[in-house]
Amino acid sequence: MSFNPNVVLSHAISGLIGGSIVSAVAAIVVGGIIGLIAGARSRQIKRTMTPTIIGSFFGTMLIAILPLVSEAQLWGGGYGGIILMLLASFLIPTGSITGALVGCSYGLKLAQRRDIKKILLIMLIATYSIGAVVIYVRYWLHCLKFAWYCTN
């Protein structure tokens, strides 16, 4: 099986866009709550909110959304939705809380640097590149095992 750009455009990009929306919603809710708690504890709410929300976004994207989007067996079938909901109910809170805690603890140290926009851009590009590669490779491996499933 050779490189198929249709798979990247149809599965990887659409999965990453949908995953970004879910990650953003989870990051705002969970990262906001954890940022408020950490900020109230340290009396620096304004300084802790943004790194916590950003960390929660990246944590949700890498820990929760990437396994859900890249699993080819969840794209269809009668029981795919049940498995998807079970995985999502465990992975999304785990990724969001873990990312928020990491963002809260390392975000303040990172914010002291002057090139924070470059670092965030590099993190964003790396996250989406890893996501696209993982989705494509897992789809390719699934097509090797179940050739009848892949019509492209």
**Which bin fits 76, alpha (ψ -120 to 50), beta or left (φ > 0)?**
beta
Residues 9-59 pLDDT 10s: 777 788 888 888 988 998 899 988 888 888 777 677 677 788 888 889 988
Give per-residue pLDDT as tens, 110-146: 666 667 788 888 888 998 888 888 888 887 777 777 7
pLDDT category, 148, cuts 50, 70, 90?
low
Residue 1 has pLDDT above 70, yes or no: no
- DSSP strands (E only) in 45-124: none
Kindly report the pTM of this predicted structure: 0.81
Q: Using CA atoms, how far apart are residues 47 and 61, in angstroms rounded to an integer?
A: 23
Q: What is the pLDDT of residue 89?
A: 86
Structure confidence at residue 125 (pLDDT):
92
Average the pLDDT over 61-67 and give the result: 84
